[in-house]
Amino acid sequence: MKRKLLIVSILILCMLTTLIAGCAQKSSSGNEKSGTEQTGTNEGSTSDERKELKYEVLFVISKNRIPDRPSLLDQVLKEKFNIVVEWQDVPSSGLNEKINLLFATNQYPDMVWGVGFTGDTPKKLGTDGFLIPVNEYWDKLPNYRALWTDEEWETMLKFESNADGNLYYLPQKNYRIASAALIYRKGAFDKLGLSFPETVEDLYNVLKTIKANDPNSIPMPNRGGAGGVLAGLKLAYRVKDGSYIDPDTGEFIPYGETTDAYREVLKWANKFYKEGLIDKEFATVTDEQWTERYANGKSYIEYSYAERDVWANTTMAAVDPNANWVWSPTNVTAYPEKGFMYDREQAHTASGSFFTDKMSEEQLERMLEFHDWLCTEEGSLFICMGVEGVTYEIKDGEPVFMPHMYHYERNPEGENDWKYGLYLGNIVQHPAYIKEVGKDANLKLSDAIKSNSRAKYFQPIPWKLTIDEEKTLADWEPVVKDIRDEYRLKFIMGQLDPNDDKAWEEYKNALNKVGLDKVVKIRTEAYNRIK
Lowest mean pLDDT among 53-67, 129-143, 352-366, 376-390: 53-67
pLDDT (tens digit, 9 = 90+) per residue, 172-197? 998 887 778 899 999 999 999 999 99
Quick one: which of 2, 424, 512, 443 has its CA closest to 172? 424
Using pLDDT thresholds of 50, 70 and 90, give the confidence band for residue 424.
Answer: low
- Give the H/E segment covering residue 510: helix 501-513
pLDDT (tens digit, 9 = 90+) per residue, 69-127? 899 999 999 999 999 999 988 887 777 788 888 999 999 999 998 766 666 788 889 98
pLDDT (mean) for 291-300? 94
CA distance 468 to 451: 43
- Listed in sequence order, the residues at least 6 apart from 293 whose beta carbon sits closer than 8 Å to its beta carbon are 218, 221, 279, 299
pLDDT at 63 over 80: no
Cα distances (angstroms) measured from residue 173 to each of 17, 96, 121, 345, 462: 35, 21, 18, 11, 18
- CA distance between the termini of the chain: 33
Using pLDDT thresholds of 50, 70 and 90, give the confidence band for residue 394.
Answer: very high
Amino acid at residue number 187: G
Buried b (16+ CB within 10 A) or exposed e, 449-478: beeeeebbebebbebebeeebbbbbbebbb
3-state secondary structure 79-144: HHHCEEEEEEEEECCCHHHHHHHHHHCCCCCCEECCCCCCCHHHHHHHHCCCECCHHHHHHHCHHH
Using alpha carbons only, how large is the chain's radius of gyration in Å?
24
Using pLDDT thresholds of 50, 70 and 90, give the confidence band for residue 11.
Answer: very low
| pTM passes above 0.85 | no
pLDDT (mean) for 144-173? 92
Percent of the chain with pLDDT over 90: 61
pLDDT (mean) for 204-227? 95
Q: Contact, 325 vs 315, CB < 8 A?
A: no
Helix (H, G, I), strand (E, B) or coil at 57: strand
Name the fold adopted by 180-343.
D-Maltodextrin-Binding Protein; domain 2 (3.40.190)
Using pLDDT thresholds of 50, 70 and 90, give the confidence band for residue 5.
Answer: very low
Specify the pLDDT at position 452.
Answer: 85
Positions of E strands within 121-251: 172-173, 180-185, 244-245
pLDDT (tens digit, 9 = 90+) per residue, 338-368? 999 987 778 888 888 999 999 999 999 999 9
- Higher pLDDT: 52 or 17? It is 52
pLDDT (tens digit, 9 = 90+) per residue, 402-412? 999 988 778 87
Helix (H, G, I), strand (E, B) or coil at 17: helix
- Higher pLDDT: 100 or 506? It is 506
Torsion 14-16-20-24 (CA) sign:
positive
DSSP letter at 21 equals: I
- Listed in sequence order, the residues at least 6 apart from 166 whose beta carbon sits closer than 8 Å to its beta carbon are 126, 133, 135, 136
CA distance 392 to 65: 20
CB atoms within 10 A of CB 295: 16
Specify the pLDDT at position 111.
Answer: 95
CA geometry: angle 94, 99, 102, nearest 5 deg: 125
Tell me which of 3.40.190.10, 2.60.40.1120, 3.30.9.30, 3.30.2130.30 is the CATH number of domain 18-176+349-429: 3.40.190.10
- Higher pLDDT: 12 or 229? It is 229
Q: Give ranges for CATH 3.40.190.10 in the chain.
A: 18-176+349-429, 180-343
Specify the pLDDT at position 64.
Answer: 61
